[in-house]
Amino acid sequence: MHVAGTSSGIVAALTAAALGAVGFLAYQAHATAPASLGVRPAAGAPPLATAGKAPRDRRHPTALPRGSGWGERVVYSLDDDRVWLVGATNRVQRTFRVNPGNIDPPIGTYWVTSRSSAVTGSDGVPVEHVVRFTSMDGLAIGFSAAVGNGEPQTGAERSARTGGIRETRVNGDAMWAFATIGVRVVVIR
Could you give the CA distance from residue 177 to residue 156 in angstroms, rounded to a whole number?
29
Q: What is the pLDDT at residue 151? A: 52
Domains and CATH numbers, the chain: 73-188 (2.40.440.10)
C-alpha triplet 71, 73, 76: angle, nearest 5°: 135
Q: What is the pLDDT at residue 161? A: 83
Phi first, then psi: what are they for 121, rounded to 5°?
A: -65, 165
Q: How far is CA 141 from CA 33, 115, 144, 163, in A?
A: 23, 11, 10, 4
Q: What is the pLDDT at residue 37? A: 42
Burial class (CB in 10 A: 0-12, 13-18, 19+), 189: middle
| Sequential pLDDT tens for the chain (189 residues) | 555 556 666 755 555 555 544 444 443 443 334 444 444 444 444 444 444 455 566 667 788 998 899 999 999 999 999 999 999 999 999 999 999 999 999 999 999 999 999 999 888 889 999 999 999 988 999 999 999 754 555 554 556 788 999 999 999 999 999 999 999 999 999
Could you give the CA distance from residue 162 to residue 84 in angstroms, rounded to a whole number?
22
Q: State the CB neighbour count (10 A cutoff) for residue 7.
A: 10
One-letter amino acid identity for 150?
A: G
* pTM score: 0.68
